Structure 1
């Protein structure tokens, strides 16, 4: 049985995290966790870090370095270019990987919670990059829905929500795009929005269906043009993670 377990590896830069305990946030480490990916099978994750949000109701996992989290962000980082605006700092994974992309000139991160910013600085996540990549990143405290950059964005990457699926999330992203001027957009859970609209209409997830739904969303989404198998990826992700909202 043990020889059938696959240890998770990926080609991205994965920062080293340390435990952190703050007023509203905690960073935890787990020696090993079995997790499935966003569109891939389950694998064993070694030394997994997880960011927990602390509230009166308890502690909630906000982000983690699982295959699901990484795969659900990778398209935005892989196809980013120019000035990238990242809405939501989280564990800074998207920001640091965007900064390492050769076609990216600048990364502006907008984070609402100053404690998250302080945590990432204390853990020296950005400082783990080569100096020239670290210098591309600017982290600002602000509101994703109202932030307007000094220079227009070329790429917008938005990840400020829980849960993964929100039926009207594209409306929120259109507000962000209007403020930033981004020519390309990737938002967390966009595949779930597409899958939801296809399922509600009884349509198969073909390239034609995806193109029609994306056109209705009126967002220049990263994914359909960049991935020939994007409909298949959406279907695989939806089978594992789609939870309809009544």
Structure 2
């Protein structure tokens, strides 16, 4: 994420807008190097949308690395999972908490379980108490537990698994890591962070196109119950995300398809 002051030649009105709930954050620090940092005005590229001006961006930073933020890329890269969430949602990684809060606000969601390993992040959220900004019925859905997302065994059926525990947007082996979490969660559906990029990488490696049929064939071979592809504009969003963020990180022996 780039947090820089907006250049003067950006067109008027080119601000990023979202209807997702963004809590009010109090700048704070916690434990070994965690801190929340603010940028009053910045520019940021989205996950699938072009660069926009962004007001009051907040980032969770540790040792110079941005782990999560309210940048358009971060919001859009979780948006599909949030909008399709229902029933019991199991989230791997607390981060800044806005994903869990948005899921809890959905009337289709009955419970949100967040698994967070780092005690410093848990302490940070106890101090922030972001759930206090929610209506009572949404706040009551939240269940925060300390644990390892790779080994956590839920005590009730899971309708949607949403892991977001990685620092980079992509890493080799992510699909296998999600399969390991799914072996424990046995969720009916999954939406994991960076999903579109992993689908694109594997589709190209397996000789599939980045259209609806190619995406469906790739997901079938992944053997994961991924959600999102049922949305009519999903192929367009997937291709846009790949154009903006793949940056040559295709699987070994492959390269970007022509026209991407």
Q: Is structure 2 residue 225 aligned with structure 1 residue 237? A: no
Taking a change above 3 Å as real, the CA distance of residues 202 and 181 of structure 1, as seen in their structure-2 partners, is: closer
What aligned pairs does 1:17-36 form with structure 2 within 5 A after superposition? 17-22=25-30, 23-36=32-45
Which residue does the alignment assign to 2:210? Answer: 205
Gaps of 5+ in 2: 1-8, 253-260
Q: Is structure 2 residue 49 aligned with structure 1 residue 40? A: yes
Which residue does the alignment assign to 2:141? Answer: 136
Q: What TM-score does the superposition give when structure 1 sets the normalisation length?
A: 0.94
CA distance in 1, matches of 2:11, 2:178: 44
CA distance in 1, matches of 2:10, 2:194: 33
CA distance in 2, matches of 1:234, 1:89: 25
Q: State the 1:5 CA deviation.
A: 4.7
Task: Tell me which of 87, 92, 104 is aligned to 1:82.
Answer: 87
Task: Tell me which of 77, 85, 88 is aligned to 1:72.
Answer: 77
Gaps of 5+ in 1: none
CA distance in 2, matches of 1:90, 1:202: 35
Q: State the 1:121 CA deviation.
A: 1.8
CA distance in 2, matches of 1:192, 1:140: 29
Q: Matched residue pairs, number?
A: 241
CA distance in 2, matches of 1:133, 1:202: 44
Q: State the 1:206 CA deviation.
A: 1.0
- How far does the alpha carbon of each residue in 1:137-168 deviate from its partner, in whole angstroms, 9 at most, with x for none? 01111000110111121111110012101232
Q: What TM-score does the superposition give when structure 2 sets the normalisation length?
A: 0.89
